[in-house]
Structure 1
Amino acid sequence: MAVQNSLQITSSCAYDDDGRAKRTGTLWSAASHIITAIIGSGVLSLAWSASLLGWIAGPLSLLFFAIVTYIFSSLLSDCYRTLDPVSGKRNYSYRDAVRTYLGQKRTWLAGFLQYLNLYGTSIAYVITTATCLRAILKSNCYHKYGHKAPCHYGETLFMVLFGVVQFFMSFIPDLHTMAWVSVVAAIMSFSYSFIGLGLGIAKVIENGTIKGSITGVPTSNAVEKLWLVFQALGDIAFAYPYSVLILEIQDTLKSPPPENQTMKKASMISVSVTTFFYLCCGCFGYAAFGNDTPGNLLTGFGFYEPYWLIDFANACIVVHLVGGYQIYSQPIFAAADRWFPRRFPDSNFVNKFYRVKLPLLPMFQLSLFRLCFRTLYVISTTGIAILFPYFNEVLGVLGALNFWPLTIYFPVEMYFVQKKIGAWTTKWIVLRSFSFICFIISVLGFVGSVEGIIKEKLSS
C-alpha cells in the first residue's frame, strides 16, 4: 500500500492540473523567451526610424509603443486562465483565449492574423540573417581594399544556408524544450545591442557633435516625408512584437505562484530592459549619423572600423535569429501538430512516429507529416524572403499588421468580457477611443510600408 501510494504521488507530481506534463518555466525563462522575441531585427532599424521622426517624436514614439505593449500584454496575461487565475481552465494559446471569450468567428480572424504575423516574422529573420552575413563579407572587404572598394555580394545564397540550418532546428519538439535556445539568443541580443550602442557613442565622440534635428530627415516634398514617417512608425511597432506569443510563453510557467503574476513581472523586466536598449541604440545611432543614418545600424556601413567588432556583432545577430526564428515558428508547428491528428485520426502519415537518433543530439520522435510540414514551412519562408528582400519595408508591414489587432483590439475585447465592462462606461469609452487611435496608427504604418515595398520593387 505504501509503495502504491508513493507511486501515485510521484505520478501526480509529474503532471499539472490539466493532465499535461509538469510545467517548469520560471520568471527568468519567460523573460528570456520575451527578450528573444522582442530584441530581433527590429532593433537594427530604430536609429533609421528615429532619423525620420526627429529628436522629439522619435524617442516619444519608442516610449509610447513600450508602454502600450506592456499594459495590453498584462491584460492578455490575465486571459490565460478563465474565471479564476489559480484554478480556472487554461487557454494554451492566443487563439484558445479568443475562442473562450469572444467566440469562434473572431477566433478564425485572430488565428489568421497571429499566424500571418509569426510567419511574416520568420521571413523577416531570413532577410536579416542574409543581410548580416553579407555585411561580414563586406566589412572584411572594406578593411582589406578600402572603404571605396566595390564590395558587392548577393543575399540569396545566405538565405538558402539559413534555411538549411532551420530545417534541422525545426525538429526541436516544442517551445517547452527550447529554453536553452532562448537563453543563448538573449545573450546574443545583449551582445550586439551593446556593440551598436558602444559604436554609436564612439561615433558621437569622434564627431564632436550630436547630429540630427527636431523634424528629422528632410525630403523633397511633404508627401514623401509622410510616407517615410508612416513607415518609421511601422518599424517601431515591429520592435515590440511579442504579444502574439505571450500566452504560448505563459503556458510554459510553473505554478504557484499564479502564471499571470509571473508573466507580468517577466513582461515588466523584459520591456524595461529592451526599451532602454532601444532608446540608446536608436538615439545614439541617430546622433552619430544624423540625416545619413543607415536603414540597418550594423549592416548599413555607417561603421567601418574596428571591422572585427562589426563582424562579431553581425555574427551575434545571426546566432540570435537562428533561435528567434524558432520562437516564432514553434506556435505554428504546434498548431499543425494539434489540428492534423484531429482531422486525420486514422492516417499513419500523420500519427505514426519513428524514433530518430542523430549524432550529438538526444533521441526524438518524428512523423512523416511533421517532416514534410516543417520542411515546406522553411522552404516557403526562405523563398518569399528571396523574392522580397526589403528590410525596413517588410518590418514596417509586419509591425503594422501586428500592432492594432493583436496587441490592442483582441486584448481589449477580451478584457471587456472578462471584467464585464458595460458599454459607454468610463473604462469602455477610454479603451475604445485608445483602440481607435492605435488602429489609425497601424493603418498609416501599413500603407507607408506597402508604398515603400512597391517603390523598391519598381526600382530594382
Structure 2
Amino acid sequence: MAMPVSSSFSIDDEKYDDDGVIKRTGTWVTASAHIVTAVIGSGVLSLAWAVAQLGWIVGTIILLLFSFITLFTSLLLVGCYRYPDPIYGIRNPTYKVMVKNILGEFQCKLCALAQYTNLVGVTIGFTLTGAISMEAIQKSNCFHKNGHDADCTSSSYQFMTIFGIFQILLSQIPNFHELSWLSIIAAVMSIGYSFIGIGLSIAKIAVEGKIAHTGLTGQVIGVDVTRREKMWNIFQAIGNIAFAYCFSVVIVEIQDTLKSSPPENQAMKKSTYSAVAITTFFYAMCGLLGYAAFGNQSPGNFLTGFGFYEPYWLIDIGNILILIHLVGAYQVFAQPIFSAVESWGSKRSPQSKLMTKEYNIRIPLVGTWRVNMFKVIWRTMYVIITTLIAIIFPFFNNVVGLLGAFSFFPLTVYFPTEMYLTRAKVQKYSVAWIAIKTLSVFCLMVSIVAAVGSVEGIISDLKTYKPLKAT
C-alpha cells in the first residue's frame, strides 16, 4: 500500500513521488538490466541437454514458445502494478501484495505457498549444482594431469557437505539480505560462466570443423535411448526449459524501482520486451550452440559433464564462477524463508526469550556479533535439511525440471492471467477470456507433464543410485 502524504512536505518535493513515497529513480534501461541479470543463471546449464532430447525442430519451437508465453504474461503482470487504474491506481510493490489487492487473501496465501515452495526447491537445487561444480573442478584437474581416460571418480556428497557448512555460517550474518553488492556479483558471475560455455561450444565446433551428431528429433530411439526413455526425457526437458524462464516473480519488485514519470507500466513494457529478447537470444545460444557442439550426447550440465576437457583452466574458471554465484544466490533465495519463519515465531511467542533475547559475542578483528538462539537453530536446521535432501536426490536435470514444473504455471501464468482478467474486467466467455483461459489450461498441462517426467526420472535414478558412492 502507498504511504499517505505527510503534511511535512509537498507532493512536488523533489525527494518524494506523487504518492508520498521516496522518489524512485529507475528507468526502462535499468529495469531491463535487472531482469536480464535476474534471469540468466544456473538454468542455462541444462539447455543443451534439453534441446538434445527434443531435437532441432521441437527444441527451437519450445524455446521460442516459452519465450512468447513469458513475454505475454509478463506484460499482463506489468499492467497490474497500479490498481485499479493502471496509471493512477495504488501501487503494488511486491508480487504477493499485488495478488492480495486484486485477487484477495485466499489467493495471496496460495501465491505465498507457490513462492516459498519455489524458494525452498531452488536452495536445494543450488546446493546440488554448487557441489557438482566443485566436483567438476577436481575432475578437470585430474583429467588434465592423468589423461582423459583416467579414473577420476569422486563423491559429490562431501562437496555438498562443504557447501552446506559454508551456508550455515553465511546464514548467521545479520542483515545479509541488505548486502546489495551480492546481486551485482551474482549477475557478473552468471553472465561470465554463460559466456564461457558459449565460447567453449563455438571453439569445439571450430576445432572439429563440424557440428556433432545431431538430429531433427534429437536422441534416436533404439540408438541413444529406448522409446520409454525418450518420452520421459522429453517431459523432463520441457521442465528444464520452463525453469530457465521462471522470472515473472521478480518483475513486480523490479517495476517498483521505476520512477513514476513516464508511467511505470509504459516503461516496464519497454523493459520487458528488451529483456525477454536478450534472454531468449542468450538461451538460444546456450541451448542450440551447446547441442551443436555435443550432439545427442549432450551432458546434463554443459560445464560439468565433460563434453569439454581443455583448456582445463577455463573450465575451472567457469565452475568457480558458478560456485561463487550459487554461494550468494542461495542466501538471496533463503533470506525470505528465514524472515517469514522468524516473523511468524515472534508473533506467536512475543514474550519468549528464545525468540527475542540476543547475546553479544565478541569476535577478534571483526567486532561484536549479536546472536539470537532461535535464528541460529532455525537457520542451521534449514541448511542441514536442504543439504540432506540434495544428498538424497543428487539428480541435476530431474531436480531442475521439477522446479520448473512447479514454479512456471502458478507464478508465470496463473496469477498474472487471473489478475489481468480481474483488473481489466474481461467479460466471462468473451473471445479474450476464452483465449487466456485456454492458454492457462495449456500451460497447466505442460507443467503437469514436466512434473510427471521429472518425478519418473528421480524414481528411476533412485533404483540404481547408491548414496555416498563415488561417481
Alignment partner of 1:418 out of 399, 410, 423: 423
Residue aligning to 2:468: none
- Aligned partner letter, 2:149: K
**Structure 1 residues 359 and 233 mapped into 2: Cα distance closer, same or farther (>3 Å)?**
farther
Question: What SS class does the counterpart of residue 246 from structure 1 fall into?
Answer: helix
**Structure 1 residues 362 and 177 mapped into 2: Cα distance closer, same or farther (>3 Å)?**
farther
Larger deviation, residues 323-332 vs 429-438: 323-332
**Structure 1 residues 388 and 430 mapped into 2: Cα distance closer, same or farther (>3 Å)?**
same
Larger deviation, residues 69-78 vs 199-208: 69-78
CA distance in 2, matches of 1:433, 1:196: 37
What whole-Å deviation, never above 9, does each CA across 1:161-219 have from its counterpart, x for those lacking one? 22233234335666973332111111111111111111111111222222311010013
CA distance in 2, matches of 1:265, 1:369: 45
- Aligned partner letter, 1:333: F
Q: How does 1:339-378 map to 2 (within 5 A)?
A: 339-351=344-356, 367-378=372-383
Residue aligning to 1:62: 63
1:380 to partner: Cα distance: 2.0
Q: Which has the higher helix share?
A: 1
1:268 to partner: Cα distance: 3.5
Residue aligning to 1:152: 153
**Structure 1 residues 268 and 283 mapped into 2: Cα distance closer, same or farther (>3 Å)?**
same
Q: 2:410 aligned with 1:405, yes or no?
A: yes
CA contact (8 A) 1:49 1:232 kept: yes
Residue aligning to 2:162: 161
What whole-Å deviation, never above 9, does each CA across 1:349-372 have from its counterpart, x for those lacking one? 435567888788798876444433
**Structure 1 residues 15 and 233 mapped into 2: Cα distance closer, same or farther (>3 Å)?**
same
1:278 to partner: Cα distance: 1.2
Alignment partner of 2:291 out of 279, 286, 289: 286
For structure 1, which runs of at least 5 residues remain unmatched after alignment?
none
**Structure 1 residues 365 and 101 mapped into 2: Cα distance closer, same or farther (>3 Å)?**
farther
Alignment partner of 1:438 out of 439, 443, 455: 443
- Aligned partner letter, 2:133: C
What whole-Å deviation, never above 9, does each CA across 1:41-74 have from its counterpart, x for those lacking one? 2111100011111111112211111221122123
Question: What SS class does the counterpart of residue 148 from structure 1 fall into?
Answer: coil
Residue aligning to 1:213: 215
**Structure 1 residues 320 and 360 mapped into 2: Cα distance closer, same or farther (>3 Å)?**
farther
- Aligned partner letter, 1:213: G
CA contact (8 A) 1:47 1:281 kept: yes
Question: What SS class does the counterpart of residue 219 from structure 1 fall into?
Answer: coil
CA distance in 2, matches of 1:32, 1:369: 37
What whole-Å deviation, never above 9, does each CA across 1:313-357 have from its counterpart, x for those lacking one? 111111111232233223323433544444444445435567888
Alignment partner of 1:380 out of 385, 407, 418: 385
Question: What SS class does the counterpart of residue 396 from structure 1 fall into?
Answer: helix
CA distance in 1, matches of 2:369, 2:17: 23
Residue aligning to 2:277: 272
CA contact (8 A) 1:76 1:411 kept: yes
What whole-Å deviation, never above 9, does each CA across 1:421-444 have from its counterpart, x for those lacking one? 111111101111111111111111
Q: How many residues align?
A: 455
Residue aligning to 1:452: 457
**Structure 1 residues 64 and 378 mapped into 2: Cα distance closer, same or farther (>3 Å)?**
same
1:151 to partner: Cα distance: 0.3
CA contact (8 A) 2:177 2:335 kept: no
* Identical columns (%): 50
Question: What SS class does the counterpart of residue 54 from structure 1 fall into?
Answer: helix
- Aligned partner letter, 1:202: A
Q: 2:305 aligned with 1:300, yes or no?
A: yes
Residue aligning to 1:117: 118
1:298 to partner: Cα distance: 0.6
- Aligned partner letter, 2:198: L
**Structure 1 residues 207 and 33 mapped into 2: Cα distance closer, same or farther (>3 Å)?**
same
CA contact (8 A) 2:401 2:451 kept: yes
1:15 to partner: Cα distance: 7.7
- Aligned partner letter, 2:464: S
CA distance in 1, matches of 2:196, 2:31: 25
**Structure 1 residues 430 and 8 mapped into 2: Cα distance closer, same or farther (>3 Å)?**
closer
CA distance in 1, matches of 2:263, 2:382: 35
- Aligned partner letter, 1:237: A
Larger deviation, residues 290-299 vs 370-379: 370-379
Q: 2:235 aligned with 1:230, yes or no?
A: yes
Alignment partner of 2:432 out of 427, 430, 433: 427
CA contact (8 A) 1:32 1:183 kept: no
Residue aligning to 2:144: 143
**Structure 1 residues 96 and 338 mapped into 2: Cα distance closer, same or farther (>3 Å)?**
farther
**Structure 1 residues 346 and 84 mapped into 2: Cα distance closer, same or farther (>3 Å)?**
farther
1:304 to partner: Cα distance: 0.2
Give the TM-score normalised by structure 1. 0.88
Larger deviation, residues 23-32 vs 187-196: 23-32
Question: What SS class does the counterpart of residue 216 from structure 1 fall into?
Answer: coil
For structure 2, which runs of at least 5 residues remain unmatched after alignment?
1-5, 466-471
What whole-Å deviation, never above 9, does each CA across 1:245-293 have from its counterpart, x for those lacking one? 3334444555455444454444444333222221111111111121211
**Structure 1 residues 438 and 240 mapped into 2: Cα distance closer, same or farther (>3 Å)?**
same
Q: How does 1:183-194 map to 2 (within 5 A)?
A: 183-194=184-195
CA distance in 2, matches of 1:371, 1:413: 40
Residue aligning to 1:134: 135
CA distance in 2, matches of 1:174, 1:15: 26
CA contact (8 A) 1:172 1:178 kept: no
CA distance in 2, matches of 1:92, 1:47: 36
Q: CA RMSD in A?
A: 3.2
- Aligned partner letter, 1:278: Y
Give the TM-score normalised by structure 2. 0.87
CA contact (8 A) 1:33 1:183 kept: no
